[in-house]
Amino acid sequence: MPKVTKGKGNKKPASIEKEEPIITVVDKTVKKGIKRKASSSVGKNVKKVPSINEEATTGTTQEVEDEEIQLPRTMTLKTSDRLSTKGEKATLKLASWNLNGIRAWLKGDGLKYIEQEQPDMICFQELKCDKEKIPNEATPTGYKSYWLSGDTAGYSGVGLLTKIDPIEVKFGIGVPEHDNEGRVITAEYEKFYFVVSYIPNSGRKLVRLEYRQEFNEAFRNYLKELDKKKPVIWCGDLNVSHQSIDLANAKSNTKTAGYTQEERDDFTKILADGFIDSFRHLYPEQRDAYTFWSYFRSARDRNIGWRLDYFIISSRLQENLCDVIHQTGVYGSDHCPIVLLLSV
Which pLDDT tens digits describe the chain residue by residue (344 residues)? 444 444 443 333 333 334 333 333 333 333 333 333 333 333 333 334 444 443 333 232 232 333 333 344 689 999 999 999 999 999 999 999 999 999 999 998 899 999 999 999 999 999 999 999 999 999 999 999 999 999 998 899 999 999 999 999 999 999 999 999 999 999 999 999 999 999 999 999 999 999 999 999 999 999 999 999 999 999 999 999 999 999 999 999 999 999 999 999 999 999 999 999 999 999 999 999 999 999 999 999 999 999 999 999 999 999 999 999 999 999 999 999 999 999 99
80 belongs to a structural domain? no
46 belongs to a structural domain? no
Q: Which residue, 318, 320, 316, 322, is CA-closest to 339?
A: 322
Active site residue 198: yes
Residue 155 CA to residue 151 CA, distance in Å, equals 8
21 belongs to a structural domain? no
32 belongs to a structural domain? no
* Residue 126 counted as an annotated binding residue: yes
| Domains identified in the chain, total number | 1
9 belongs to a structural domain? no
CA angle 119, 145, 336 (to 5 degrees): 45
59 belongs to a structural domain? no
* Residue 237 counted as an annotated binding residue: yes
Q: Which is the catalytic residue, given 130, 237, 309, 323? A: 237
Q: Phi and psi of 168, rounded to 5°? A: -155, 145
Summarised one tens digit per residue, pLDDT across range 9-46 is 333 333 333 433 333 333 333 333 333 333 333 333 33
Q: Which is the catalytic residue, given 189, 193, 198, 310? A: 198
E strand or H helix at 52: helix 52-57
263 belongs to a structural domain? yes
Residue 97 CA to residue 67 CA, distance in Å, equals 30
Instruction: Give the pairing type, strands 121-125 and 92-98.
Output: parallel
Domain with residue 168: its CATH number is 3.60.10.10
198: which strand partners? 237
Q: Phi and psi of 272, rounded to 5°? A: -70, -15
First-residue to last-residue Cα distance in the chain: 27
E strand or H helix at 275: strand 275-277
* Residue 227 counted as an annotated binding residue: no
125 belongs to a structural domain? yes
Summarised one tens digit per residue, pLDDT across range 282-292 is 999 999 999 99
* Residue 335 counted as an annotated binding residue: yes
* Residue 281 counted as an annotated binding residue: no
Torsion of CA 245, 248, 250, 256, to 10 degrees: -120
Provide the domain limits for residue 293.
92-342
* Residue 303 counted as an annotated binding residue: no
